[in-house]
C-alpha cells in the first residue's frame, strides 16, 4: 500500500533511469538530447509531487479555509522548465551546426571523421573539410 | 546606492548583455563589455572591503526578508571569489578585442560579448546568492552561455566539444536540482543559512545522505573533478582563445566555490567529513587527478590541450587542499583558487597571442618562436614557472601551503606527490620551451602551420593590445608570489569562516 502511495516517485525514478540510459547508450546526437530531456523532465515530477497536498487546491485565496498545495515547488519548476527548454534549443542548434559541417549526427562517424583529419594531418581546416566530404 | 551593490554586481552585467545583443557593431559591444567588466571589478573590490571591515553582508532581494525571499549573502569566501572572477573578466575583455576579431565572424561579435557577459553574470550570481535554487539558475545561465561561447571556436571540433560539455553539464545540473529537491522535501527551505540550521537539527537521515550524493556528483561534474573531467580538454582546446582564458580561470573556480558552499556551509563540516567521509573520496580522486592528468599532459602535442589536462591536475590540488579538512589545507585550496586563475589565465592568453600570429598552437608550430615573438614566449615561460611553482611566483605559495597542510596531517606521501607532480609540470612546460628557444623555425609553410588567413605574412610579435593584458597577469603572478600577505591572510580568514571559527 505504501509503495502505491509513492507511485509518483516510482514514475520519477523510472523516467529518470530511462532518460539516463538513452543518454548513455545512444550514439545519435538527437536521441541523446531526447534522453537528456526525459531525464530533466523526470525531475519536474519529483518537484511537483512533493508540493502536492492530498485534497489540497490551487493556492488562490477563497472563502472558507481550504487546504492549499504548496505552490513553491511548482514555481521552481517553471524556472527549471525554462532552463530545460533553453538547454534543448541550444543542444538542437549545435546538432544543426554539427550536421552542417560533418554531414552526420552519429557520434562514432563524427569520431571517425575527426580521427581521419588528425591522421591525415593537413593542418588546414579547408582541406580537411574537402576530405570529409570525399 | 552602496547598499544595493550586492544586487548591482549581478544586474549590471545582465542588463549590459542584452545591450550587447542588440548592438550592431562589434566595437560598440566590446565597449559595453569593457565598461561592464571594470564596473563589476570595482563593485567586487568595494564589497570585499566592506566584508573585511563589517563582516558578512546580507541583502534581501526585492525587500523580501529571508527565508521567504531570496537572500544575497556575501561573506569573505564569496567576496574573494567575486574579486577573482571580475578581475579575470576585467583583464580578458581588453584582450578579447583583437583576439576575437581574428577568430570569430564579424556578425557574431556582438553576440559573443552578450554571451560573455551572461557567463559573467551567472558566475557572479553563484557567488553572491544565499539561496540554493538560485545557485542552480545562475549555474545554468553561466553554463548555457559557456556552451555557446565554446561552440564559436574556429575548428569544427569546437561544436562537438560544446555538445559534449552541454550533455555532461546538464547531467551535472540535473543532479544538483535533484539534490536540492531532496533537501527541500526534508526541511521546507531553500535558504542556505536556514538549511544549515534545519539539517543539523534533523540529524543523520537517508534522504539527506542521498541528496548529499547527488550534489557531490553534480558539482564534481561541473568542476571537472577526475574522473568526471571528460568534457574539459576538448572544450578548452577548441574554444576561441579569449574564451579559454576566461572560462579556464573562472568557471571551474566558481564550481569549487559551490562545493565549499554546499559542504561547509549547508551540510556542515561534521556531516560532510565525519559522517559522510567525503574527505577520503576527495583525497583519492584529487591524488589520481593530479598524477594521471599531469602524466597525460606530458604527451600532448597541442599546447592548449596540454594546459587543459594540466588544469584538471591543478583542480586536483585545490580539491586536495579541501580534502585535508584542516584550516591550513583549506587555506591552500582557496589560495590556489586565486593563484591558479592567474597562472592559467596568463598561460592561455599567451597561447592566444601565438594563435593570433601563427594560427596554430601545436608544439611543432612553436619552433623558433622565442626569437620571433620574444615577449609572448617570455610570458609563457614566466607563467610556466608559476605553474611549476618556482619561488617568487604564486604557484610556489600555493604549493608551500599545500605541503604545509599535508605535513600537518602527517600525510608525507601526499606532500611527496605534490613535489613529484611539480617536476612533471617542468617536463611539459619544458617541451614548449625547447621548441620555442632551441629549435629552428620551420621553412615557410613547410610544416603546414598557418592554417588561418593572413598568417602567410612573416610572424612578428603579437600586438600590444594582446600583450599588455597577458603581462598584467604575469606581473600579478610575481607580485602576489613575492608579497603574499594579502592573499594568504584573506584565504586563511576565509577558511576559518568556512570552518565556523571566528575570522
Residue A127, pLDDT score: 41
A12-56 pLDDT, tens digit each: 999 999 999 999 998 899 999 999 999 999 999 989 888 887 777
User: Is residue A129 in a domain?
Assistant: no
Contact, A73 vs B152, CB < 8 A? no
Domain total in chain A = 1
Residue B60, beta-bridge partner list: B71
- Give a three-class secondary structure readout of B199-236: HHHHCCCHHHHHHHHHHHHHHHHHCCCCCCCCHHHHHH
B221-273 pLDDT, tens digit each: 999 988 888 899 999 999 999 999 999 999 999 999 999 999 999 988 888 88
Residue B502, pLDDT score: 59
Per CB-CB distance under 8 Å, the chain B contacts of A123 are 360, 447-451
B25-50 pLDDT, tens digit each: 889 999 999 999 999 999 999 999 99
Distance from CA of B20 to the nearest CA of A (A): 19
The CATH number for A51's domain is: 1.10.287.3510
CB interface of B with A, residues 175-204, below 8 Å: 177-178, 181, 184-185
Contact, B212 vs B274, CB < 8 A? no
For residue B402, CA distances in Å to B288, B318, B327, B333, B373 come to 16, 9, 11, 7, 35
* Contact across the interface for B163 and A101, Cβ inside 8 Å: no
CB pairs under 8 A between A and B: 81
B351-377 pLDDT, tens digit each: 999 999 888 888 888 888 888 888 999
* Contact across the interface for B181 and A114, Cβ inside 8 Å: no
Helix (H) or strand (E) holding B60: strand B57-60
Distance from CA of A64 to the nearest CA of B (A): 25
User: Is residue A49 in a domain?
Assistant: yes
d(CA B43, CA B32): 16
* Contact across the interface for B171 and A39, Cβ inside 8 Å: yes
Q: How far apart are the first and last CA of chain A?
A: 62
Residue B73, beta-bridge partner list: B58
Query: With 80 as the cut, is the pLDDT of residue A125 above it?
Result: no
A22 touches chain B (CB under 8 A): no
Residue B59, beta-bridge partner list: B72
Residue in A78, A21, A70, A10 with CA at minimum distance from that of residue A44: A78
Residue in B169, B179, B228 with CA at minimum distance from that of residue A87: B169
Other CB atoms within 10 A of residue B468 CB: 12
- Find the closest chain A residue to B69 by CA distance: A72
Distance from CA of B467 to the nearest CA of A (A): 26
User: Is residue A119 in a domain?
Assistant: no
Q: How many helices (H) and strands (E) does chain A have?
A: 6, 0
Which pLDDT band holds residue A3 (cuts at 50, 70, 90)? Answer: low
Return phi, psi of residue B191, to 5°. -75, 130
Determine the longest span between alpha carbons in chain B, in angstroms. 72
Sequence ranges of the domains in chain B? 277-503
Residue B191, beta-bridge partner list: B131
- In the DSSP assignment, the letter for residue B3 is G
User: Is residue A128 in a domain?
Assistant: no
Contact, B204 vs B277, CB < 8 A? no
User: Is residue A112 in a domain?
Assistant: no
Spell A43-64 as b/e; 16+ CB within 10 A means b: bbbbbbbbbeeeeeeeeeeeee
Residue in B225, B242, B43, B4 with CA at minimum distance from that of residue B124: B43
- SS3 category, B191: strand
Per CB-CB distance under 8 Å, the chain B contacts of A23 are 167, 171
* Contact across the interface for A36 and B147, Cβ inside 8 Å: no
pTM here? Answer: 0.90
Per CB-CB distance under 8 Å, the chain B contacts of A129 are 156
Residue B1, pLDDT score: 67
Residue A132, pLDDT score: 42
User: Is residue A88 in a domain?
Assistant: yes
* Contact across the interface for A125 and B448, Cβ inside 8 Å: no
A98 touches chain B (CB under 8 A): yes
Residue B362, beta-bridge partner list: B302
User: Is residue A46 in a domain?
Assistant: yes
d(CA B217, CA B285): 12
Residue-averaged pLDDT of chain B: 89
Lowest mean pLDDT segment, chosen from A122-126, B71-75, B139-143, B361-365: A122-126
- Find the closest chain A residue to B448 by CA distance: A123
d(CA B373, CA B253): 31
B461 touches chain A (CB under 8 A): no
d(CA A113, CA A119): 10
Distance from CA of A4 to the nearest CA of B (A): 19
Amino acid at each position: 500500500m505504501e509503495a502505491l502511495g509513492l507511485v509518483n516517485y516510482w514514475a520519477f525514478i523510472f523516467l529518470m533511469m530511462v532518460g539516463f540510459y538513452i543518454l548513455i547508450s545512444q550514439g545519435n546526437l538527437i536521441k541523446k538530447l531526447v534522453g537528456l530531456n526525459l531525464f530533466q523532465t523526470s525531475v519536474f515530477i519529483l518537484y511537483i509531487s512533493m508540493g502536492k497536498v492530498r485534497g489540497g487546491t490551487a493556492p488562490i485565496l477563497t472563502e472558507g479555509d481550504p487546504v492549499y498545495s504548496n505552490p513553491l515547488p511548482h514555481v521552481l519548476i517553471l524556472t527549471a522548465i525554462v532552463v530545460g527548454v533553453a538547454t534543448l534549443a541550444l543542444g538542437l542548434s549545435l546538432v544543426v551546426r554539427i550536421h552542417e559541417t560533418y554531414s552526420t549526427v552519429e557520434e562514432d562517424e563524427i569520431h571517425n571523421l575527426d580521427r581521419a583529419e588528425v591522421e591525415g594531418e593537413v593542418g588546414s581546416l579547408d582541406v580537411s573539410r574537402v576530405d570529409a566530404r570525399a | 546606492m552602496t547598499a544595493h551593490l550586492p544586487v548591482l554586481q549581478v544586474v549590471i552585467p545582465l542588463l549590459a548583455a542584452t545591450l550587447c545583443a542588440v548592438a550592431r557593431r562589434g566595437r560598440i559591444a566590446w565597449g559595453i563589455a569593457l565598461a561592464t567588466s571594470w564596473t563589476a571589478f570595482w563593485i567586487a573590490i568595494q564589497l570585499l572591503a566592506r566584508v573585511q571591515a563589517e563582516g558578512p553582508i546580507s541583502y534581501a532581494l526585492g525587500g523580501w526578508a529571508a527565508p521567504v525571499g531570496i537572500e544575497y549573502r556575501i561573506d569573505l569566501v564569496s567576496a574573494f571569489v567575486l574579486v577573482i572572477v571580475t578581475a579575470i573578466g576585467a583583464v580578458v575583455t581588453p584582450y578579447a578585442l583583437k583576439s576575437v576579431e581574428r577568430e570569430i565572424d564579424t556578425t557574431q561579435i556582438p553576440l559573443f560579448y552578450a554571451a560573455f557577459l551572461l557567463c559573467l553574470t551567472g558566475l557572479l550570481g553563484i557567488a553572491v546568492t544565499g539561496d540554493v535554487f538560485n545557485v542552480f539558475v545562475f549555474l545554468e545561465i553561466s553554463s548555457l552561455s559557456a556552451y555557446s561561447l565554446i561552440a564559436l571556436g574556429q575548428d569544427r571540433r569546437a561544436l562537438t566539444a560544446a555538445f559534449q560539455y552541454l550533455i555532461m553539464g546538464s547531467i551535472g545540473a540535473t543532479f544538483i536540482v535533484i539534490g536540492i529537491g531532496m533537501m527541500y522535501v526534508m526541511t521546507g527551505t531553500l535558504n542556505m543559512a536556514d538549511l544549515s540550521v534545519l539539517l543539523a537539527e534533523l540529524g543523520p537521515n537517508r534522504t539527506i545522505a542521498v541528496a548529499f550524493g547527488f550534489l557531490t556528483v553534480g558539482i564534481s561534474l561541473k568542476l571537472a573533478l577526475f574522473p568526471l573531467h571528460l568534457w574539459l580538454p576538448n572544450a578548452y582546446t577548441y574554444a576561441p582563445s579569449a574564451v579559454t582564458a576566461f572560462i579556464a580561470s573562472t568557471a571551474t573556480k566558481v564550481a569549487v566555490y559551490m562545493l565549499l558552499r554546499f559542504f561547509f556551509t549547508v551540510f556542515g563540516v561534521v556531516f560532510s567529513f565525519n559522517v559522510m567521509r567525503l574527505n577520503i573520496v576527495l583525497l583519492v580522486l584529487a591524488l589520481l587527478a593530479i598524477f594521471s592528468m599531469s602524466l597525460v599532459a606530458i604527451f600532448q602535442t597541442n599546447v592548449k590541450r596540454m594546459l587543459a589536462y594540466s588544469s584538471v591536475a591543478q583542480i586536483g590540488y585545490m580539491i586536495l587542499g579541501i580534502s585535508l579538512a584542516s584550516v591550513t589545507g583549506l587555506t591552500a585550496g582557496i589560495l590556489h583558487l586565486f593563484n591558479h586563475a592567474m597562472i592559467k589565465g596568463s598561460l592561455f592568453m599567451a597561447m592566444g597571442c601565438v594563435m593570433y600570429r601563427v594560427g596554430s598552437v601545436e608544439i611543432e608550430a612553436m619552433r623558433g618562436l622565442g626569437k620571433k615573438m620574444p615577449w609572448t614566449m617570455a610570458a609563457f615561460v614566466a607563467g610556466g614557472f608559476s605553474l611549476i611553482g618556482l619561488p617568487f611566483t604564486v604557484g610556489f605559495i600555493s604549493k608551500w601551503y599545500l605541503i604545509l597542510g599535508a605535513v600537518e596531517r602527517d600525510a608525507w606521501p601526499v606532500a611527496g606527490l605534490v613535489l613529484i607532480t611539480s617536476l612533471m609540470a617542468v617536463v611539459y612546460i619544458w617541451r614548449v620551451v625547447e621548441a620555442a628557444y632551441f629549435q629552428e623555425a620551420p621553412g615557410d609553410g613547410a610544416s603546414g602551420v598557418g592554417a588561418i588567413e593572413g598568417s602567410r605574412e612573416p610572424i612578428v610579435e603579437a600586438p600590444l593590445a594582446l600583450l599588455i593584458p597577458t603581462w598584467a597577469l604575469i606581473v600579478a603572478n610575481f607580485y602576489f608570489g613575492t608579497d603574499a600577505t594579502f592573499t594568504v591572510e584573506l584565504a586563511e580568514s576565509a577558511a576559518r569562516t568556512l570552518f565556523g571559527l571566528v575570522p
